Amino acid sequence: MEITLNRTDLHGLYVTAAGRLDLDNAVEYGTKIKDYIEDSDEPILNVALDFSEITFISSFGLKVILELYKLLKAQNGDLKIKNVSEQLMSPFKLVGFDKFLVFE
Amino acid sequence: MFKTVKSKILAITIFMLTFLMLAFSFHVYFSRMNTKQLMVQNYKFSITASPFVQGIKNRIISSIDNLKSLALVGSLYYKTDRSPDLTNKAIERIFENYPSTLGGGIWFKPYIVDKSKKYVCFYAFRDKNNKIIIDKNFESEKYDYPNQGWYKQIISEVTPERNIVWSKPYYENQGSYTTMVTAGTGIYVDGELVGIATVDWELDSVIKEVYKMKPLEMTFSMYKSGNVIKNSFTLFGNAKDDYVIATSNPYIDNEAVIGHSLKEIPWYTSADDLYATTYITYHKKKYIPFVNKLKNGMVLIICLPKSEMFNKVNNFYSLLILSMLGIALLIPALLYYSLNHYIINPIDKLTQIAHKIGKGEDIQIKIEEPEEFAQLASTFDNMTKDIKSITQERAKINSELSIAKSIQSSSLPNVFPPFPNRNEFEIYASMEAAKEVGGDFYDFFFIDKTKFMFLIADVSGKGVPAALFMMTVKTLINNVSQINVSPKQLIKLINNKICQTNKQGFFVTVLLGITDISTGETSIINCGHNLPLIKRQNGKYEYLQLESNIALGVFEDSEFEIYETVLGQGDIIYTYTDGVTEAINKDNEVYGEARLCDCLNNIDENKPSKIAQKVKTSIQEYTDSNSQSDDITMLIFKYNGASRNIKTFEQIASQENYKQFYDWLHTACKEWDVKEELSNKLDMCAEEIFANISFYAYPEKEGKIETVIEKTDNSIIFEFRDEGLEYNPLEKPDPNIDLPPEERPLGGLGIFMVKKMADSVLYKRENGQNILTLIFNI
């Protein structure tokens, strides 16, 4: 899975990826972002995940997103999910993530 | 040893020549002997007729005549007036008549003429001047003729029967001083012996001639050239008194042996007549003695040296034999040369060339002579060319045939399973072609959305024509079958088309089936083909007793009986060509239909490909190493029942196989046209369950996951099975989704999602398996 991490400003990170966030890819996706945040000299506080190219998300993907959310919240950061298709919203809704995640 | 033509002919020739030579040698031997005998006769004649021998003989005869005349005169004197003058005149007259007589006379016994006169005789002789002189000196006391040896011998030996007596030769030392012989005869008057008459024969001249006879010169009338025999020698003697008169011989003192016994002379022979096959050897030389016995008891032996007698004959025969030998050697040599040159060499040449041609060399044969071989060579040459072109053609044909064969077999569907997405039926077919391209074929295809046609066929004949016809028929059936008509019409149409294209009188037996795979309704048409076997779901294979129709391509507008049946789930139809049942073992017995049925019933496999394999093995075991004479073709159709749209997946439950798993699922969704929303749900649920089983079901060892997905008209049933730890996900409490995010646990979402997304979730534990069934409404 191709994952691109772009700094938007000193504390901002924009993540684009294409494909499925499933058993095979979700862990890789999450690890790459977490590693980046932890390795950054400047604290990353705002992370935006671009979902326009994501075709599928399973519970493994949801788990990774919750993990990220918790990581950022602990530093008073913010996690935004961008360009989610109708299709992909249902899993989020199903598990009640729509209640705290910000979709743009 | 005599295996070659050459040696045989040579052996025969040598044998024949040897035989001829032997015959010739015998002939020469005997003819030489005859010639020699003839020659000896000729020599004998020549010797007898020679002037020398005749001269002696004449002298003897004339001496006797002379003697008789004298005796007559003597008796006349005694009987008549006893006139001495008349008597002397008569004697003179006689001497004139016998010029060779030296001397002779008439001698009366003492006192018989006159009692007072003791000596009465008349004697005449020739002097040196050949004058006849009457000698009266013998009537004297001094001579006293009655006491002379010759007188005594003659007077005592004569008898009236043996009236002529020859004295021993003697040397006369009173008058003529010569060697003499005296012949005497008695004078008888009235039976009384009154005196004798004598004639003297002077031998000196004869002796001189004998001496001269070295060599004896003779001329043979037989041989025109003068034949002078040298080295001959002579013996002249008196056989009666055993007395040598004269000899001629270079090895002895001839004068010294005069008067000796004849037996002292080495070449003397007492043979009665001249010439014998015997010869005498004298001083290392062979001589043939010719013996002339004379009337007066004398003998004249003339010895001729054998080598010189037969010199010419021997030379002639030697030359003859030598030339024959030369011919005898020359003939085989010529024959050997001719044989070699005209027969053996051309044969050798042909043999060598044939050998080279056999090895593939390109050689032209040229023999100009002899004509027979020239013809043979040119025939040979043509044959070589023919063979070459035939071989090339055959190679070409062979390669074309093998191409034809591969085209033929590749024209038949040979990828199995041919319809992997179809689970309503399974089909398997195979053709094992015999050596040449044959006429068997099979085919199967959909003729519309649900109707599936399968067929097996056998074209009459073999080889390329049959193969071409087969291709035509196959294409034709395929094309015609696309027309939407009833099976009955279809087969009629096919038959008519085949009849129209078939000008060569081929025909084709076909067993054809059309199955509606959504219902199992099946039409089977048997056009002169072997009856198929059918196995109903739980039954046994048995021959399907079909009405047999005429083979295709025979008569246009033929009508065909169709067999209609409905296949149930698991029913199997086994079709084949006669190559199966007519496979022959080493005892020339066919495999047969009963054996085929038994074989099929002993197979506990339901997969067509496995069934085909087992039948083939059975046939191979039966025929053993016998070569396959006909195509072995079979087609097996198994009906699985109407489609239930089921897909199965079975794999080791591990994350590595996840991609494979969701590809399978996606393919199914795509095929069934599942809407994206539902397919996403299926995707998510599938992943959760797959991950769950992968991570937790088999903590210690690897284990399987089996999934079956089935689409019905209004739902999708998704079933998961594993043989891992017993786990009922339904017993797990749902997570509280209303908690603030900080308090929410990371796990436990998966099963919750599944429960939420599926319309119903069922779990059961059965036979050590966890069986989780998800049902989604469409």
| Domain B422-639 CATH class label | alpha beta
**CB B688 to CB A59 under 8 A?**
yes
Closest chain A residue to B757, measured at CA: A94
Contacts of B744 in chain A (CB under 8 A): 66
Helix axes B463-481, B487-501, angle to 10 degrees: 140
Nearest by CB to residue B741, choosing from A63, A66, A87, is A66
User: Which residue of B682, B685, B687, B689 to mutate against A (max A Cβ within 10 Å)?
Assistant: B687
Q: pLDDT at position B218, please?
A: 45
Q: pLDDT at position B215, please?
A: 46
Give B628→chain A minimum CA distance, Å. 56
Evaluate if residue A6 carries a pLDDT over 60: yes
Q: Please say whether the beta carbons of B522 and B561 come within 8 A.
A: no
Q: Please say whether the beta carbons of B517 and B452 come within 8 A.
A: yes
**CB B744 to CB A66 under 8 A?**
yes
Q: Which amino acid is at B111?
A: Y
The residues of chain B scoring below 70 in pLDDT are 1-2, 174-176, 212-230, 271-278, 435-437
User: What DSSP assignment string belongs to B89-154?
Assistant: HHHHHHHHH-TT--EEEEEEPTTSSBTTBS--EEEEEE-TT--EEEE-TTSSTTT-GGGSHHHHHH
| B714: number of Cβ within 10 Å | 8
Closest chain A residue to B738, measured at CA: A96
The closest of B418, B425, B417 to B644, measured between CA atoms, is B425
**CB B753 to CB A91 under 8 A?**
yes
Q: Which alpha helices (H) appear in B486-586, and where do they start and end?
A: 487-501, 578-581
| B38: number of Cβ within 10 Å | 12
Does this model's pTM top 0.80? My answer is: no
Give A19→chain B minimum CA distance, Å. 13
The closest of A81, A101, A96, A51 to B756, measured between CA atoms, is A96
The closest of B503, B517, B515, B548 to B530, measured between CA atoms, is B548
DSSP state of B624: T
**Structural domains of chain A, with CATH:** 3-103 (3.30.750.24)
B422-639 against B646-777: fold identical: no
CA B71 – CA B91 distance, rounded (Å): 10
**CB A63 to CB B749 under 8 A?**
yes
Strand order in the sheet with A12-17: A3-7, A12-17, A46-50, A78-82, A102-103
The fold of B207-309 is Beta-Lactamase (3.30.450)
3-state percent helix, strand, coil for chain B, nearest multiple of 5 = 40, 25, 35
DSSP helix/strand/coil, B8: helix
Q: Please say whether the beta carbons of B537 and B571 come within 8 A.
A: yes
**CB A63 to CB B687 under 8 A?**
no
- The residues on A that touch B, with CB distances below 8 Å, are 22-24, 56, 58-60, 62-63, 66-67, 69-70, 73, 87, 90-91, 94-97, 99-100
Provide the phi-psi class of B752: left if phi over 0, else alpha when psi is between -120 and 50, else beta.
alpha
Closest chain A residue to B752, measured at CA: A95
Nearest by CB to residue B691, choosing from A23, A56, A90, is A23
Contacts of B676 in chain A (CB under 8 A): 87
Query: Residue B366 to residues B369, B377, B617: CA-CA distances in angstroms?
Result: 9, 7, 58
B380-414 in b/e form (b: 16+ CB < 10 A) is bbeebeeeeeeeeeeeeeeeebeebbeebbeebee
CA B542 – CA B596 distance, rounded (Å): 10
Token code pair at residue B498: 């085949």
Looking at domain B52-202, its CATH superfamily turns out to be PAS domain (3.30.450.20)
In the Cβ-directed half-sphere of A40, how many Cα atoms lie within 13 Å? 20
CA B28 – CA B25 distance, rounded (Å): 5
**CB B737 to CB A24 under 8 A?**
no
Look at chain A and count its residues.
Answer: 104
Token code pair at residue B35: 């010639």
Q: Please say whether the beta carbons of B411 and B443 come within 8 A.
A: no
Give A68→chain B minimum CA distance, Å. 11
Q: pLDDT at position B224, please?
A: 36
| B72: number of Cβ within 10 Å | 16
Q: Please say whether the beta carbons of B176 and B102 come within 8 A.
A: yes
Domain range annotation of chain B:
5-49+312-350, 52-202, 207-309, 422-639, 646-777
Q: pLDDT at position B457, please?
A: 93
B718-744 in b/e form (b: 16+ CB < 10 A) is bbbbbbbeebebeeeeebeeeeeeeeb
CA B340 – CA B347 distance, rounded (Å): 9
Q: Please say whether the beta carbons of B728 and B696 come within 8 A.
A: no
Q: How far apart are the first and last CA of chain A?
A: 23
**CB B659 to CB A24 under 8 A?**
yes
**Residue whose pair of structure tokens reads 């945040």 in the numeric block:** A37
Query: Residue B431 to residues B438, B440, B529, B636: CA-CA distances in angstroms?
Result: 10, 8, 16, 12
Helix axes A59-74, B676-692, angle to 10 degrees: 80
In the Cβ-directed half-sphere of B210, how many Cα atoms lie within 13 Å? 24
Q: Please say whether the beta carbons of B735 and B749 come within 8 A.
A: yes
User: What DSSP assignment string belongs to A43-103?
Assistant: PP-EEEEE-TTEEEE-HHHHHHHHHHHHHHHHTT-EEEEES--HHHHHHHHHTTGGGTSEE
Q: pLDDT at position B407, please?
A: 82
E strand or H helix at A19, and its extent?
A: strand A19-21
Token code pair at residue B328: 């005898």
Closest chain B residue to A55, measured at CA: B680
Give B642→chain A minimum CA distance, Å. 35
Give A64→chain B minimum CA distance, Å. 8
In the Cβ-directed half-sphere of B448, how many Cα atoms lie within 13 Å? 11
| B222: number of Cβ within 10 Å | 13
Strand order in the sheet with B715-722: B646-652, B704-711, B715-722, B769-777, B760-766
Indicate the Cα dihedral angle B575, B577, B580, B582, nearest 10°: 140
β-partners of residue A78 are A46
**Residue whose pair of structure tokens reads 């070589």 in the numeric block:** B384
**CB A70 to CB B741 under 8 A?**
yes
**Residue whose pair of structure tokens reads 């080295």 in the numeric block:** B231
DSSP helix/strand/coil, B763: strand
The closest of B224, B225, B249, B227 to B236, measured between CA atoms, is B249
The CATH architecture annotation of domain B646-777 reads 2-Layer Sandwich (3.30)
